[in-house]
C-alpha cells in the first residue's frame, strides 16, 4: 500500500513538472512586454530601418515616410510573440523605434523572428495580421538612402 502511494506521488509530481514546462514553453508575450513597456502613443513616434546585406557586410539606411512609419509602429504594437531558440537566423534588417525611449531589434523577415539587440533574446511572431506584409511592401517601395558602412 505504501509503495502505491509513493508511485502515485511520483506520477503526480511528474505530471505537474511536465505541465509547468509545457505552460512555460507556450507562453506568449505582447510587443509591450518584450520591449519593456514602450509608450506606443508617444507624440514623436519614429522608426529607422537599416537593411543588412551579408557577404560582404553592408548596412544601408532606408528612408520611410512618417505616415508609413506610424502604420508599421501601430501594426507592431498589436503583435504577439513566443520565445524562439532557432540558431539559424539571418538578420535582414535592424529596426530602431523612438517612442518614449529607444528600442532596437533585428528581424529575420522570412522566419518572422526578431532578436532584441540589448538582451539577445529571440522571439517568433505568432499572430501577425499585417506587420510583416506591410513591412516587406513598404521596404520594397522605398529607396535606400545612406550607406552606413
Fold observed for domain 28-147? Dna Ligase; domain 1 (3.30.1490)
pLDDT number for residue 124: 92
Confidence (pLDDT) at 132: 92
Record the pTM.
0.76
Cell numbers for 69: 512609419
pLDDT of res. 45: 87
Which residue, 122, 131, 41, is CA-closest to 78?
Answer: 131
Identify the pLDDT of residue 76.
92
Q: What is the pLDDT of residues 84-100, one digit of tens each?
A: 887 777 888 999 988 88
- Residue (of 136, 131, 120) closest to 83 by Cα position: 120
Domain ranges of the chain: 28-147
Cβ atoms of 142 and 52 closer than 8 Å: no
Below-50 pLDDT ranges, the chain? 148-149
Rounded CA gap, 60 and 36, in Å?
27
Torsion of CA 145, 54, 99, 142, to 10 degrees: 30
Residue 148: the pLDDT is 46
Amino acid at each position: 500500500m505504501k509503495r502505491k502511494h509513493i508511485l502515485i506521488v511520483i506520477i503526480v509530481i511528474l505530471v505537474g513538472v511536465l505541465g509547468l514546462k509545457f505552460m512555460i514553453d507556450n507562453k506568449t508575450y505582447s510587443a509591450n512586454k518584450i520591449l519593456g513597456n514602450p509608450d506606443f502613443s508617444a507624440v514623436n513616434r519614429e522608426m529607422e530601418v537599416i537593411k543588412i546585406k551579408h557577404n560582404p557586410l553592408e548596412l544601408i539606411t532606408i528612408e520611410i515616410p512618417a505616415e508609413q512609419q506610424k502604420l508599421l509602429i501601430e501594426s507592431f504594437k498589436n503583435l504577439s510573440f513566443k520565445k524562439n531558440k532557432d540558431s539559424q537566423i539571418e538578420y535582414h534588417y535592424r529596426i530602431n523605434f523612438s517612442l518614449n525611449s529607444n528600442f532596437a531589434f533585428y528581424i529575420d523577415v522570412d522566419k518572422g523572428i526578431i532578436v532584441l539587440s540589448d538582451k539577445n533574446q529571440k522571439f517568433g511572431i505568432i499572430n501577425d495580421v499585417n506587420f510583416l506584409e506591410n513591412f516587406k511592401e513598404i521596404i520594397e517601395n522605398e529607396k535606400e538612402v545612406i550607406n552606413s558602412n
